[in-house]
Structure 1
Amino acid sequence: MFGAFRPTNVNLGGLLWKTPWKLSVTRKANARARLKKVDAVIESVRASGVHCAALYRALELPKECEMPAKDKYTVFSPHEKGYRKGIHKVPKWTRRTLRTNPKGF
């Protein structure tokens, strides 16, 4: 009866979802395309004549073409060795606005 439950890698602390240590070329391209789509939506809302606080905050953000690669693919993290970590390590990174980082990092 005791032998019916064999330990597996997951039960012994193995990772079920393995996150790669760096972004692949495809995931980088998808991130850039996502930023461009968001820029297009912000521009179309601005052109429509709507005025709201969220639009003003969105207009202050840099566009995808104005962002350096460092800010496109990494975010500031005070706990990391070089104070940067990949955007894919951030929970829900496809749904967050990660365009601004502290100056100098």
Structure 2
Amino acid sequence: MFGAFRPSSVSLGGLLWKSPWRLSSTRKANQRARLKKVDSVIEAVRASGVQFSGLTKALALPKEHEMTAKDKYTTFNRSSVKFRKSVHKVPKFTRLTLRENPRGF
């Protein structure tokens, strides 16, 4: 049982991708900083005078300081128990704009 294919705790049924069930304060701070950077880019593009449909959609989204904590750190998920899912459980959440939720959620 020695060699390249020896059993380990991971291969014997352990979790391979360990992700905490709650966001740490550091990850929350990083999320807020990421949202602020996106807001600054949107504002810079608006100030440059360029017009396109993506910019009008982005300007309609709430800014970081206008969002509630629930919207900053969770997103809508139809299959979750309370219809919310922590943002770090969403694949590639650092690249997506997760500021829109259905009305009432």
Q: Tell me the residue number matched to 2:37.
A: 37
Secondary structure of the residue that 1:93 maps to in structure 2? coil
The AA in structure 2 aligned to 1:90 is V
CA distance in 2, matches of 1:73, 1:103: 17
> SS of 1:31's equivalent?
helix
Alpha-carbon RMSD: 1.1
Unaligned runs of 5+ in 2: none
Summarize deviations over 1:65-95 as a string: whole Å, max 9, x none: 1111110000111111111110000000000
Residues 24-76 of structure 1, C-alpha deviation per residue, up to 9 Å, x if partnerless?
01110110011011000000000000111111111111100111111000011
The one-letter code matched in structure 1 to 2:24 is S
- Counterparts of residues 1-105 of structure 1 (less than 5 Å): 3-4=1-2, 5-105=5-105
Following TM superposition, where does structure 1 have runs of at least 4 consecutive aligned residues deviating by more than 6 angstroms?
Answer: none
Give the aligned residue type for 2:78. Answer: P
1:79 match: secondary structure? coil
Please, which runs of 5 or more residues in structure 1 have no aligned partner?
none
CA–CA separation in structure 2 for the residues paired with 1:81 and 1:46: 39
User: Aligned pairs, how many?
Assistant: 103
Instruction: Give the Cα separation in 1 of the matches to 2:33 and 2:58.
Output: 17
Percent identity, aligned pairs only? Answer: 67
